Amino acid sequence: MESLKSIAEMLPGETAVISGFRDDVLSVKLLEMGLLPGTVVRFNFTAPFGDPICITVSGYDLSLRIAEASTITILN
Amino acid sequence: MAAQKTLRIALAGKPNAGKSSLFNLLTGLNQKIGNFPGITVDKRTGNCQLDADVMAQIMDLPGIYSLYPRTLDEKIVTDILSDKSGINYPDCVVLVADATNLKNCMLLLTQLIDLQIPTVLALNMMDLAARSGQSIDVQTLSAALDLPVVMINARTGQGVPELKNLLTTSIKPSSKTIYKVGEEIEPLVKDIQQKFNLGTRYQAYQFLQQTDNLSFLTSADKTYITTQAKAANFFQHKYQGAETVMRYSFIQDLLNKVTLKSSDPEWKKFSYRIDKVLTHKVWGYLIFFSVLFLIFQSIFAWAQIPMDFIDSTFARLSNVLDNYFPDGPFFDLITQGIIPGIGGIVIFIPQIAILFACIAILEESGYMARVVFLMDKIMRKFGLNGKSVVPLISGMACAIPAIMATRTIENWKDRLITIFVTPFMSCSARLPVFTILVALIIPDVKLFGFFNYQGLVLMGLYLLGFFAALISAFVLKLIIKTKERSYLIMEMPTYRKPKWSNVAYTIIEKTKSFVFEAGKVILAISVVLWVLASYGPGDAMSKAEEEVKFEAGQTELSAEEFEARVASYKLEHSYAGIVGKALEPAIEPLGYDWKIGIALVTSFAAREVFVSTIATIYSLGGTEDEQTIKGRLRSEINPKTGGPRYTPAVGLSLLVFYTFAMQCMSTLAVVKRETKGWKWPLIQLAYMTALAYVSAFVIYQTLS
């Protein structure tokens, strides 16, 4: 499982499909924001110091910290 | 009149969906801000006449994505919606949805349906949705959810009359059930439903999910629920995650059915292009600092004119009434205690209004989310949050509106730290104190013929306050423990033109809540301080004139000089004077005498009072002339050393003291209001005073 990439490792402009979560508590909140397994996510850009990041998911833009993004695993 | 029916209607929906715009449209100026009992959330309510017979009390709930709260403030929503017998339980909920992003507005809607709360779906921003090329089959949507759907435009008011009409008809709860609890926990849920006599399965399920968040449950109830849940192996997070996934799959199916044409991602291109510049490594910060500078400038420059006007108006009012009223303690209280006290509240209104206008514009346009995005990483190192930036900067104008601006911070710990450290930012009230003292002890010479020493020291004091704020925040980050986890999962709204009426409502709302909430305390404390400074024990006060005459002996005093000496004598023998003298042993190690002690006491009302008190003590009469005060201070002799009282050591010690000390009752009043209790303002007062005392002590002892 450790070999799975997370959103935190994506590059600006890349798209991927969410595969799951590494943090149970956080996953509940992320799910509510429309970050569902099987959903397409696009990495838009990062803030100047690389954190937080801005992604597009479920039709809108969302910013989250690298700490949160690294709990979301992806397939691409 | 008596036949009128009053409906309770709650507005719910995610942040930025246009809830506040709709609230403002429905209620107009007819709104009031109250408190939900026991918590730090404002309760915004307002009345709206739906038609001739039906009146509605509209309640604006905090913006939420789902019934599961992300922040302390959001807990109130679940609390209200789960308690059918509670006083805030609505007859009907209007769910305001952003039509351009329907998917994540629907989650809450499906939960409301399962709670069987009568709900109307208001699709807002239909114009934007249309522009994005999206098209929705509203009829099918309404039929599939079994609830009324109206299209509105909360910016223009389109669709609002239809919504009002609809609300007068009795709305029934939807007959649908979206989420069915899993078989393995069904007996448990049924048991809770029976025990608490609940109408729906989902309500019972919410009791299990959010036991601790429901304030209306007794501790015996809570124990019962937790015990049952444990026995049945109920894991909150596991079920909550599964519930959300299930709801979204329902929503996705539904949206597939009702979306005639989906939006073209191209429509956001403009927003992305702006983001490229506004979140850029260089331009982003440059633009942000320019915006800050502009806000700063407007608070200082534009607010000054109305502030001076208010200042002189209240002074004149005091004078006029003083001449008009007969003498006597009651009238003195009015003209010298209460009127200047009210003036002390009103004088902050221009700064508060301008600051909140700026903040509202930034919020409305969507830029605020980008500021948070830019600053989050830097601020986090100090236990703060991207959202702490605006309050800290505003604190350089005045801590009062700044602390009110911390409301945007969701995480309670981050918000508390921000509130706690904001008063360290050097506010405009410190400026008069700084100017006098800096001019007194720092020679007016230039370094390298270019930098003015006095200017450098002044800048140093501002930086000192700023670093004290950062370091204190860092320390608090280590001390305050919280179960609440800090995270940033924030929607980045599309850029929009601000709606000016919303900006106006924000100004009115913030100003009103400042005047009425903080104002009460400010007024009370100023009256107390006035009494302390005007009355004294025994007959010292009434003998003041005789004593001054006696002291003067043969010397001829002009009428003005005589009055000034009497005022000085009175202050010395007042309760404040006594306190000043009592303080002397404590403040002597800092290099101060009882005269400075009196100024410390009176300037607790507000820092700038230091200057006028010093003027009264040294019998200077008016405070108009800075040169006079400076000259008088320079010639003041310290009887113990025989040298000047205001040595550089004393001056620096005072400067540092005023940089760190709380010395502002208005701030304390606001902190009390924002933290809902005296605990934090008192800790803050103790901490800041201790820091000020110790630093001033170290400075004085090393320099003298």
Report angle CA B100, B106, B108 to the nearest 5 degrees: 130
Residues of chain A with pLDDT under 50: 1
- Please state whether the peptide bond connecting residue B326 to the residue before it is cis, i.e. omega within 30 degrees of 0: no
Q: What is the pTM of this model?
A: 0.79
Shortest Cα–Cα distance, A16 to chain B (Å): 17
Closest CA to B22 of B41, B5, B44: B44
What is the spatial distance between Cα B58 and Cα B94, in angstroms, rounded to a whole number?
10
- CB-based contact B68:B59 (threshold 8 Å): no
In the sheet with B489-491, reading across from the earlier edge strand, the strands are A5-6, A72-75, A15-21, A40-46, A53-57, A60-64, B489-491
Q: What is the pLDDT of residues B108-142, one digit of tens each?
A: 999 999 999 999 999 998 888 888 888 889 999 99
Shortest Cα–Cα distance, A34 to chain B (Å): 6
Q: Do A49 and B377 touch (CB under 8 A)?
A: yes
Residue of B nearest to A53 (CA): B373
CATH code, domain carrying A20: 2.30.30.90
Report angle CA B202, B204, B210 to the nearest 5 degrees: 95
Chain A residue numbers touching B245 (CB-CB < 8 A) = 31, 36-37
What is the CB neighbour count within 10 angstroms for residue B293?
11
Chain B residue numbers touching A51 (CB-CB < 8 A) = 376-377
* Residue B302 pLDDT greater than 50, yes or no: yes
Number of domains in chain A: 1
CATH code of the domain made up of B5-168: 3.40.50.300
In this predicted structure, what is the pLDDT of residue B208?
92
- CB-based contact B410:B451 (threshold 8 Å): no
DSSP SS3 for B360: helix
The interface residues of chain B toward chain A in range 319-338, judged by CB-CB distance below 8 A, are none
Q: Does B244 touch chain A (CB under 8 A)?
A: yes
In this predicted structure, what is the pLDDT of residue B34?
66
Q: Does A72 touch chain B (CB under 8 A)?
A: no
Q: What is the pLDDT of residues B31-42, one digit of tens each?
A: 777 666 555 566
Q: Does A67 touch chain B (CB under 8 A)?
A: yes
pLDDT band at B345 (very low <50, low <70, confident <90, very high): confident
Q: What is the DSSP letter of B337?
A: I
Q: What is the pLDDT of residues B663-691, one digit of tens each?
A: 888 889 889 988 888 999 999 999 999 99
What is the domain extent for residue A62? 5-75
Beta B5-12 vs B54-60: how paired, if at all? parallel
What would the DSSP string read from start to end of B483-506? SSPP--EEE-PPP----HHHHHHH
Shortest Cα–Cα distance, B474 to chain A (Å): 20
- Range from B271-280, B293-302, B469-478 carrying the lowest mean pLDDT: B293-302
What is the spatial distance between Cα B392 and Cα B372, in angstroms, rounded to a whole number?
13
Residue boundaries of the structural domains of chain B: 5-168, 183-263, 283-429+490-497, 521-703
What is the spatial distance between Cα B178 and Cα B71, in angstroms, rounded to a whole number?
25
What is the spatial distance between Cα B337 and Cα B47, in angstroms, rounded to a whole number?
37
Q: Which of A26, A32, A67 sits opposite B244 (nearest CB)?
A: A32
Q: Which of B66, B107, B373 sits opposite A54 (nearest CB)?
A: B373
What is the spatial distance between Cα B69 and Cα B54, in angstroms, rounded to a whole number?
33
Distance of CA B435 to the CA centre of its chain: 29
Chain B residue numbers touching A29 (CB-CB < 8 A) = 68, 70, 487, 489
Q: Does B356 touch chain A (CB under 8 A)?
A: no
Chain A residue numbers touching B241 (CB-CB < 8 A) = 24, 27-28, 31
Q: What is the pLDDT of residues B154-175, one digit of tens each?
A: 888 999 999 999 999 988 999 9
Q: Does A70 touch chain B (CB under 8 A)?
A: no
Helix axes B349-365, B500-513, angle to 10 degrees: 140
DSSP SS3 for B6: strand
In this predicted structure, what is the pLDDT of residue B36?
60
Q: Which of B107, B245, B492 sits opposite A63 (nearest CB)?
A: B492
Q: What is the pLDDT of residues B586-635, one digit of tens each?
A: 999 999 988 888 888 888 877 877 877 777 777 655 544 566 677 778 88
pLDDT band at B322 (very low <50, low <70, confident <90, very high): confident
Q: Do A28 and B240 touch (CB under 8 A)?
A: yes
In this predicted structure, what is the pLDDT of residue B85?
85
Closest CA to B25 of B159, B157, B167: B157
Residue of B nearest to A69 (CA): B489
Closest CA to B416 of B370, B463, B482, B465: B482
Q: Which residues contact B431 (CB under 8 A, 6 or more apart)?
A: none
Q: Which of A24, A37, A61 sits opposite B492 (nearest CB)?
A: A61
The mean pLDDT of chain B is 85
Q: Which residues contact B331 (CB under 8 A, 6 or more apart)?
A: B321, B322, B325
Which segment, A15-19, B516-520, B572-576, B638-642, is predicted with the most confidence on average?
A: A15-19
Q: Which of B101, B241, B372 sits opposite A27 (nearest CB)?
A: B241
Chain A residue numbers touching B373 (CB-CB < 8 A) = 47, 52, 54, 63
What is the spatial distance between Cα B114 and Cα B200, in angstroms, rounded to a whole number?
8
In this predicted structure, what is the pLDDT of residue B586?
92
Q: Which of B100, B107, B492 sits opposite A32 (nearest CB)?
A: B107
Shortest Cα–Cα distance, A3 to chain B (Å): 24
Residue of A nearest to B284 (CA): A48
**Across-strand partners of B471?**
none
Chain B residue numbers touching A60 (CB-CB < 8 A) = 100-101, 104, 491-492
Which segment, B72-81, B440-449, B637-646, B672-681, is predicted with the most confidence on average?
A: B672-681
What is the spatial distance between Cα B518 and Cα A35, in angstroms, rounded to a whole number?
42
What is the CB neighbour count within 10 angstroms for residue B250?
16
Distance of CA B263 to the CA centre of its chain: 38
Query: What is the pLDDT averaged over residues B559-575?
Result: 81
